[in-house]
Amino acid sequence: MLKGFKQFILRGNVIELSVAVVMGAAFGAVIAAFVKDLLTPLIAAIFGKPNFEELKATVNNSTFLYGDFLNALIAFLLIALAVYFFVVAPMNHLVQRMRRGEAAPDPTSKNCPECLSEIPIAARRCAFCTSSV
């Protein structure tokens, strides 16, 4: 029983996944601090209101804390913007630069001239409309 557990733990996928989870948590903390400490005060400086917690509405003795929701929504949007502009866009640019000069892969399929279905490149008849290609 312990031998199977040892094999499970020492498989590459489990170790890589655990490293990814730890790195993701650490990166999430960095992004959250960036948004909280830099972007939110910037918005507060522009709009003059750093926190919307105080905003609420009361209807029939029920309190709707829409300011709290606005804070969460703004934090989500700022985190999404930070991740996109500081992680996704630079990584896409880096991948494009690394792929410059690579030849495009050979096509493995073509379109049937009759029905426009995708068929293998070596096909002599369309599998969909049976026309000769």
Which pair of structure tokens corresponds to residue 16?
């890589």
The pLDDT value recorded for residue 50 is 66
**Residue range 66-107, pLDDT digits in tens:** 888 887 888 888 888 888 888 889 989 998 888 887 777 778
Q: Which of 37-41, 78-82, 102-106, 121-125 has the highest mean pLDDT?
A: 121-125
Query: Does the global pTM surpass 0.85?
Result: no
Output the CA angle 33-67-73, nearest 5 degrees. 50
CA atoms of 123 and 111, how far apart (whole Å): 10
Q: Which residue intervals of the chain are DSSP H helices?
A: 2-10, 12-34, 40-47, 66-83, 89-99
